[in-house]
Structure 1
């Protein structure tokens, strides 16, 4: 990677679009810093042999990464171990407030930890996503409120996402961007 642009594959699985938008934001940021970036969903991920680094992102369902990402990691474990990898997840837990919410928000569910530990990423980060009230059962809404959920809508922390992207860029020795990517 010394005298050429590092090539970064960003692989994601999204349930409602938040994870895709975060993956695209990170991809735009790294490209603005000089990397060659390809963003693709896990089902259409490119061959990893032409990439120097990989960023993997997944929505969280039932306290686990989406099956397409878990399967992707399992089937590409050898290729992933040969290059630096970063992992992020997108769920509701990081948006929870209050004592119980903060405790839950800091916990890494066992099934996510198992996938994380199987590839040993340089960094794992959990982000809040989009959480809409429409279509959510009354019981789930009450539980969300009891656990410290304060509001509905776009709960993503773009400053934290930018810091995660910046840490990837620093590890890859990329320069500062000429323009700051704008989040969706």
Structure 2
């Protein structure tokens, strides 16, 4: 049986969507049936065996849509393996070491009994939506701080856990 994995995300400027796509690709490379979908496109997590949920961080908070998704699907999420990821730091800190989840995300980790959380670097470039985002880019503090290899390695770890579970009766 192939595990079906939903990689759901809430993204304003596309960075988190890009990370979700990289995660889904890495999971598929490991033999899992994974798809990345915006949280607003997901009616039910019922068809999935596992869920990876990601949100962009703005001012130390996840995007509201990601939080609402978690609360709305809480009962179903707690019945399957769940991992969370955040995206946001516009510097190299996410590559340099583990960044603990912000308090609101930590509450979701605990409430959903998530198996793990990781924070990846973000991306903010020309064309960003939102006044503050445009100011950050204009000031020269924007850029792409996502690390595709870090993302793939983390996703492979998720895949190993899922494949190991399926193999264990």
TM-score, length of structure 1 as denominator length = 0.75
- Paired residues of 1:94 and 1:106 also in contact (CA < 8 A): no
SS at match of 2:163: coil
The reply to whether residue 6 of structure 1 matches residue 8 of structure 2 is: no
- The 1:29–1:107 alpha-carbon spacing in structure 2 relative to 1, beyond 3 Å, is closer
Residue of structure 2 equivalent to 1:69: 66
8 Å contact 2:5–2:32 — kept in the other structure? Answer: yes
CA gap of 1:74–1:22, structure 2 versus 1, over 3 A, is same
- Structure 1 residues 153 and 72, CA, compared in 2 at 3 Å: closer, same or farther? same
Q: Deviation string for 1:135-167 (max 9, x for gaps)?
A: 2259x959xxxxxxxx64111122211111011
- Matching residue of 2:50: 53
Q: Which residue in the other structure is 1:167 paired with?
A: 157
Q: Cα gap change, 1:54/1:107 in structure 2, threshold over 3 Å: closer, same or farther?
A: closer
Aligned with 1:37: secondary structure?
strand
Quick one: distance in 2 between partners of 1:173 and 1:135? 42
CA distance in 1, matches of 2:136, 2:89: 15
Map 1:24-39 → 2, pairs under 5 A = 24-39=21-36
Per-residue CA distance 1:13-54 (angstroms, 9 max, x = gap): 111111101111111121222211222101111421111100
The structure with the larger Rg is: 1
**Matched residue, 2:146:** 156
**Structure 1 match to 2:117:** 124
Conservation of the 8 A alpha-carbon contact between 2:90 and 2:123: no
Unaligned runs of 5+ in 2: 127-132, 165-169
1:138-153 aligned within 5 A: 152-153=142-143
Say whether the 8 Å CA contact 1:26–1:162 is kept in structure 2. yes
| Alignment RMSD | 2.7
- Report whether the alignment pairs 1:81 with 2:104: no
Task: In structure 1, list runs of 5 or more residues that go unmatched.
Answer: 143-150, 175-184
Equivalent residue of 1:59, what SS? strand
